[in-house]
Amino acid sequence: MSNAIIPTRKQLEVYIYERHKDAYGIKGRHYDFDAMSYEELDAEAARIDDAAHQQYKWERKCDAEAVLEFRANIRKVREMCGVDRTTAIRYILDGEGLLGEGDASYACYCMRLPYSMERYIAPALAELNELEAA
């Protein structure tokens, strides 16, 4: 005897509608759920779930590449300018036109970095803005 939870039709519809955004960036407003059988809904939910997993893997790969590129840029600036890491990040932020920006997460967005990098960007951004104010 199985204890598997079988989703209702409405649960599948909501899942497809919402999970479509994870897979394709927009909610699945185009579906005509009333015209779909339960089996079609179940198959579409599985397909959307697979697509969302692929999108997640691709995004993590892009994040990793962006972090590696950012770290390489920090090394280049440190070597060229003979400065410490925080100063190198500050120079990069200034070069990206982020002088005066108070939101480190927005700076991450502008530089294609994952938001987890905010903790490294915030101190350098604050220092850059303090230097500009002085």
1 is a domain residue = no
114 is a domain residue = yes
Look at residue 39 in the predicted model and tell me its pLDDT.
96
Q: What is the pLDDT of residues 82-103, one digit of tens each?
A: 999 989 999 999 999 988 888 9
Total structural domains within the chain: 2
- Has residue 134 got a pLDDT over 90? no
Are 56 and 95 within one domain? no
Look at residue 2 in the predicted model and tell me its pLDDT.
60
Look at residue 1 in the predicted model and tell me its pLDDT.
53
Look at residue 102 in the predicted model and tell me its pLDDT.
85
Sign of CA dihedral 29, 56, 104, 66: negative
**Is the whole model's pTM more than 0.75, yes or no?**
no
- What gap in Å lies between CA 115 and CA 97, rounded to an integer? 18
Residue 55 is which amino acid?
A: Q
Query: Domain residues for 43?
Result: 9-60
